[in-house]
Structure 1
Amino acid sequence: EDEIKSFIRASIRWNLAESLEAPTYTSTGDFEVEGSYTKGLRAFNGQESTMRALRAAGVDVYIISASPELFAAEAGNLFGLGYLVPNDNVYGVRFKTDDAGLFTAELEDDYPITWGPGKATIVTSILEQIHKGAAPVYSSGDSDGDCEMLDTVRNGVVDTNNRLKGNSTCINGFYQKACEYFGTTEPITNNAYLLQGQDQVIGAWITSGFSTEDGVTYESAVTSNDGCSKYQFLDL
């Protein structure tokens, strides 16, 4: 485990220093295969501020990640979030270790895979039991793997980080809800829906629901509700 933690820390430090890129390579053999990977990492400052505000208000904060649980917890510790979200409040993919404590790559039994529906299962089967059946009052997500978890909130705030995902994605549906219920709440859930814009180049939340991938062009990725113009805010 200590060896894995050292790899995690080294990987995070290296990626924080790299530019955001997705290099693509094509094989040179008889059968051409194209592969790509992403490099570069940005830690968005607004999420920590939100966690801090929730804790100050007496709200228990949890992280539910599609990453291995050890990675999510170690990343949180590296970024100094351990005092806001203790390791016991971090849920991620869990793997078995052997009798010598070595990683086996086998998933733990009777524990959900924390992606998509599995994130919601963590909420309903574990967290709601801890909190005597109470539903979450806040949830934040940015991808299709978060949609079911975001749907568990009642009488609270659903904060969707705008990574400019298209209309075919379920997360774009939460962009649309933020635009539709701007300044009010959804009747069926009594939730407020927020759309949080990002400057993805520098890794910062911005005062807009629109996001930018290059620091020049800002978009909402919403085609309805006048392109979500109410969430523009900035003079773009």
Structure 2
Amino acid sequence: MRKKKIAQLITAATLSLFTIQLTHAETIKAPTIKIQEQINVLEKGNWDQFNHAQLNQFILENGNKSAKYNAQKPPYVVFDFDNTSIFLDIEEATLIYQLENLLFKVSPKELNKVIRTNIEDTNFSSDFNNQDGQPVNINTISPDIIESYTWLYKNYVGLKGKKSLDEVKQNPHYENFITKMRYLYAAIGDTFDHSVSYPWVTYLFAGYAPNEVSQLAKATYAWQQQQKIAPVTWTSPQALAGKAGVVSVTWDNGLRPYKDVQNLYQALMQNGFDVYVCSASFIDVIKGIATDPNIGFNVPTDRVYAMQLQHDKNNKIIAKFNEDYFQTQGKGKSQTIEKFLVSKYGYGPSFIAGDSEGDQNMMQDFADTQKVLIVNRWRKLTTDIGQFSKVASESYGTQNPKYLLQGRDANTGLFVPSTKSIAFGSTEAKAFK
């Protein structure tokens, strides 16, 4: 009898404890689900875990789920595009597509003027000497380019000739033209100030209508999705050494969107942030990619700022910079944000994302900026962005850091869940070069 009573007491106590546990579980069940929903405001994807948590916190504290959110004065954010929103550079990829398919709308005489625009006749950087070790400059490379373009212009059916693209590709003038044009772009970028080199490549759209450039960019994007991620080297033919001699140039192939950044764009928009792009590429190239709903960034057309050229009376592009706008690189990005966004909102961007020295000004020029995302491309520590990357590394794991460093894998074109990045051809992740 005593044992039976004890058993009953134990059973009652167990049931009581179970009831207490169940009741407690029921009281915390709803908040637990709510917290889980908050954590998933931004998909985890391949984000570094700490960066993911910080971005979630930033969105929740400043977006439309926050009590302090004001729809009349919404927060806004600014993304760089090339190598920040996408893997590689859409402007550079478009140049390759334009060259390979001979998609030009100028005569040889006009092209000669375009490629010489604002380029001094000093020798290019010694890294761009020809294969014989001799220096090259605009006066030696231009005649070679124009000679080959003249032959293509007269013979290719897409210009003024009758031969198909496959037919003209068999002639050494084709290889000479595309190689020396791509070499010239690289040599200018390595030799002259960004204020000269960044606009230069946009001049090659002379004769295009804006929507034609956007369509060209879309075609480039679709083509690049099918390309292998790898460096490509072009060498001009010995048979057409010309004045510049034989030259080589290497460029990166395999542009991809960063899916995690696309998810970040959407999470920000869905939570009441106005999302802008400020890029050093050409305006209609970026609009073609950033605003296309099929690609996945979905930025409104009027929220893209980039390099602008003048138009003629028929709305065709002229190889002349539009001085009504700043060059959207370096300090020009900050000036563009000041002119068009701070003047509109009355305050600065709450978030900036970038990857290079062209972004370092806007990363530090606005007191309202709470978070800065840096895609880790191993920038030199002698630059501001290199120092910001170092600060991000040192403040990793601390409460509410301003700078976040996000790693990527150059073999896949994807983020990796780390602050460290992996170089093409390597499997080792490093924080700094």
Q: What band does the TM-score fall into relative to the shorter chain?
A: 0.7 to 0.9
TM-score by length of 2: 0.46
Q: 1:43-122 alignment to 2 at 5 Å?
A: 43-78=257-292, 79-82=295-298, 85-122=299-336
* Alignment of 1:206 onto 2:412: no
Shift of 1:191: 5.7
Residues 155 and 191, structure 1, Cα contact 8 Å, conserved in 2: no
TM-score by length of 1: 0.82
Residues 20 and 201, structure 1, Cα contact 8 Å, conserved in 2: yes
Q: Which has the higher helix share?
A: 2
Higher mean C-alpha deviation, range 103-112 or range 87-96: 103-112
Partner AA of 1:48 in structure 2: Q
Report the equivalent of 2:39: none
Report the equivalent of 1:18: 227
Report the equivalent of 1:138: 351
Report the equivalent of 1:178: 392
Partner AA of 2:277 in structure 1: I
Report the equivalent of 2:363: 150
Report the equivalent of 1:221: 432
Gapped regions of structure 1 (runs ≥ 5): 223-236
- Aligned residue for 1:47, secondary structure, equals helix
Instruction: Give the distance between the partners of 1:159 and 1:5, measured in 2 at CA.
Output: 27
- Aligned residue for 2:254, secondary structure, equals coil
- Aligned residue for 2:279, secondary structure, equals strand
Instruction: Give the distance between the partners of 2:283 and 2:337, measured in 1 at CA.
Output: 16
Partner AA of 1:141 in structure 2: G
Shift of 1:95: 1.4
Higher alpha-carbon Rg:
2
Partner AA of 1:66 in structure 2: A
Residues 283 and 308, structure 2, Cα contact 8 Å, conserved in 1: yes
Residues 229 and 412, structure 2, Cα contact 8 Å, conserved in 1: no
Of all paired residues, the percent bearing the same amino acid is: 28
Residues 162 and 211, structure 1, Cα contact 8 Å, conserved in 2: yes
Shift of 1:12: 1.1
Instruction: Give the distance between the partners of 1:124 and 1:65, measured in 2 at CA.
Output: 15
Instruction: Give the distance between the partners of 2:289 and 2:408, measured in 1 at CA.
Output: 21
Cα shift readout 1:197-218 (whole Å, capped 9, x = no counterpart): 1122222222110111346111
Structure 1 pair 166–20 and aligned structure 2 pair: CA distance change class (3 A): farther
The size of the alignment, in residue pairs, is: 215
Structure 1 pair 64–155 and aligned structure 2 pair: CA distance change class (3 A): closer
Gapped regions of structure 2 (runs ≥ 5): 1-209
Q: Which has the higher strand share?
A: 1
Shift of 1:89: 0.6
Partner AA of 1:120 in structure 2: S
Residues 214 and 289, structure 2, Cα contact 8 Å, conserved in 1: no
Instruction: Give the distance between the partners of 2:388 and 2:266, measured in 1 at CA.
Output: 24
